[in-house]
Amino acid sequence: MLPVAPDLDTLASERARLWEFARRSVHPTGGFAWLDDTGQPVLDRPVEAWVTCRMTHVAALEVLGGNGDARRELDHGVAALRTTLYDAEHGGWFAAVDVATGQPTVPEKRCYEHAFVLLAAASATAAGHPDGEALLADAVGVFEDRFWREDEGMAAESWDRAWTTLEDYRGANANMHTVEALLAVHDVTGEAVWLQRAERIVRRVVHEVARPAEWRLPEHFTSAWVAAPDYNRDSPADPFRPYGVTIGHLLEWSRLALHVRSAHLVRGQDAPQWLLEDAEGLFDAAVRDGWHVDGEDGFVYTVDFDGTPVVRTRLHWVLAEGIAAAWALGAATGEQGYLDWYAVWWDQAERRFIDRVDGSWRHELDEHHQPSTTVWTGKPDVYHAYQAALLPALRPAGSFAGSFLGPAS
């Protein structure tokens, strides 16, 4: 017998539980701190932009959902992006800052973090933050000047601090989060260019690269967008640039393709048929290559390009993205099979990942479901789990924040 999926009241309770855990991360020097396994902030660790941006985004969603108390955390996050993490000398945002000196601890200016600045700024704007529009304008300016490559229809990866040298590498991960951010910017501004750019990225990465490769998407490319399949073969468990095919990203790209589709449909526009077809293909491949494939329960982290498991660690965010993709496909197609997966994976979350003692979700387990730190330590992030618990409560839109807004004119 299949498990029963959580109802909307249960999902609301889960979001509230996650938020109460996450809000402990407010750092007294600015931004949001990394949280350990028990939810205590690690105050001597650098403040990282991606953590701060994701927390700011979640705070904005809390405000949009009616939690006025979350404006304190939203204010704190926006202020950090205006000051603590902002490079006043060269522009753009530092990836991480030493809390004692205020100096950057990562020399590069990376698209990954800048995509999350865009997302946080768009969500803050949607939530009515008084500095949201100014932050969004700054983030859009940096993105257009430094990262967007109109001739490629893709975003570049990283620069040195002074914006003089561009890295000879292109990554699918940074572009995936760029899609998420551009959809939010589109929902907030109503400007068609952001949806067009998001769709161009999805077309190139998913339709032109993943589809012909049996949906086994390479993550790493040269500056000419030639796949580099051996990249990080000697460092397969890298948290941001792992070797091989990342199962959770197949699920995330699947959901994002559906968000692009929704962004068209809610405005009365025709959506390309391939967006739905490719979302289904990615989802099926993630199940085929990732779910229970090593004889143990759960999703593996990565597989080789023939589908052989590489890193068998179970990560919470992979399961959360599976839950969200299953819900989105069920809603888009009306097919019960996707909703069955949705229920199965929520059951997996409850049995393996949701921590009723110390809070949040356990971020990493080994293949035998014992605590592990191969990829991550602590519980720095509720963004994936929070969004998985929010999506079924929202009306269709291009982005989470956009679901709370009417279509922009």
In angstroms, the CA 380 to CA 363 distance is 8
Q: Is 264 a catalytic residue?
A: no
Cα–Cα distances (Å) from 197 to 68, 143, 237, 264, 346, in that order, read 33, 12, 30, 13, 33
In angstroms, the CA 255 to CA 103 distance is 37
Strand 41-42 to strand 34-35: parallel, antiparallel, or no bridges (unpaired)? Answer: antiparallel
Residues contacting 374, CB < 8 A, separation 6+: 237, 311, 313, 364, 366
The residue with tokens 């390309």 is 272
Give the residues across from 99 on adjacent strands.
Answer: none
In angstroms, the CA 100 to CA 46 distance is 9
Q: Is 369 a catalytic residue?
A: no
Point out the catalytic residue in the list 207, 259, 363, 384.
384
Using the 8-state DSSP alphabet, how is residue 31 labeled? S
Q: Are 80 and 47 in contact (CB under 8 A)?
A: yes
Nearest to 15 by CA among 354, 371, 379, 326: 354
Q: Are 77 and 56 in contact (CB under 8 A)?
A: yes
Cα–Cα distances (Å) from 302 to 131, 240, 287, 391, in that order, read 40, 12, 12, 25
Amino acid at 235: S
Tokens, residue 1: 């017998």
Cα 269 to its chain centre, rounded Å, is 26
Tokens, residue 122: 């768009």
Continuous H helices in 146-202? 172-189, 192-202
Point out the catalytic residue in the list 249, 259, 316, 363.
249
Give the residues across from 159 on adjacent strands.
Answer: 109, 166
Could you list the active site residues? 249, 384
